[in-house]
Structure 1
């Protein structure tokens, strides 16, 4: 079965969002301490099993959605799912910025990255680009 690559901007946007999601998942699975460092989190010495949270919850979700997004990048439902996930992540980040005294450069950059990934998946899904 041949694996088709995107041939236009619409396909490449959602494909790129899925690839980045997959990349984040691979990093969370194989190097969870990097993800924790980027997110400025640190597991307690007395709870080393906390690393498993990055490997399961973060990596598992990102890998699953990223893989499906890569293989089915041209399906609107898949684009909606990928975009909605990143949009809700951006919303959670915004709530944190406004409610948790988290208005720092890193949080704003993560917020913009999440919005960009959401837009890359949702714009083609809604037919707003292409």
Structure 2
């Protein structure tokens, strides 16, 4: 089985968003303590459930990113973009209603918007000639 790397620029951007998602998922899954420190969230004393939740989310990101890379289909890229668009929308709700207006939240919002835009732009033909 050969490794597929897209030849079209738009699909390369969507592929890159999927690869970044898989990479972030890998880091979160196998280094949840580092990821929690990076995002400024730590579990309470004596409770280790936060690590399980982080690993689970990391596994989801890793699986979704790898699925998009391996299958390289428009519907998979659309699902990836739609999922990140909903995550960005949820972050906007949090910024407005939870008083979560921090630099990190704005930075992560920008990252989520980019990760939503790249696969969706490819699927909807914004990069076609």
How large is the RMSD of aligned CA atoms in angstroms?
Answer: 1.1
Cα 1:104–1:49 change in 2 (3 A) is: closer
Q: TM-score, normalised by structure 1?
A: 0.93
Q: Any unmatched runs of 5+ in structure 1? A: none
3-state SS in 2 of match to 1:46: coil
CA distance, structure 2, for counterparts of residue 65 and residue 48 of structure 1: 25
Q: Following TM superposition, by how much is the alpha carbon of 1:105 offset from its aligned partner in structure 2, in angstroms?
A: 1.4
Q: Residue in 2 aligned with 1:26? A: 26
Q: Following TM superposition, by how much is the alpha carbon of 1:69 offset from its aligned partner in structure 2, in angstroms?
A: 1.0
Q: Following TM superposition, by how much is the alpha carbon of 1:49 offset from its aligned partner in structure 2, in angstroms?
A: 3.0
CA distance, structure 2, for counterparts of residue 16 and residue 89 of structure 1: 18
Q: Residue in 2 aligned with 1:106? A: 104
2:6 is aligned with 1:6: yes
Query: C-alpha offsets along residues 39-77 of structure 1, whole Å, 9 cap, x if unaligned?
Result: 211101211232111111x1121011000111123x110
* Contact 2:121/2:127, CA 8 A, preserved across alignment: yes
Q: TM-score, normalised by structure 2?
A: 0.94
- Show structure 1 runs of 4+ deviating over 4 A: none
CA distance, structure 2, for counterparts of residue 8 and residue 91 of structure 1: 29
Q: 1:117 aligns with which of 115, 118, 121?
A: 115
Q: Following TM superposition, by how much is the alpha carbon of 1:123 offset from its aligned partner in structure 2, in angstroms?
A: 0.4
CA distance, structure 1, for counterparts of residue 123 and residue 8 of structure 2: 14
The aligned length equals: 128
Q: Following TM superposition, by how much is the alpha carbon of 1:18 offset from its aligned partner in structure 2, in angstroms?
A: 0.5
3-state SS in 2 of match to 1:101: coil
3-state SS in 1 of match to 2:3: coil
Greater mean alpha carbon deviation, residues 89-98 or residues 44-53: 44-53
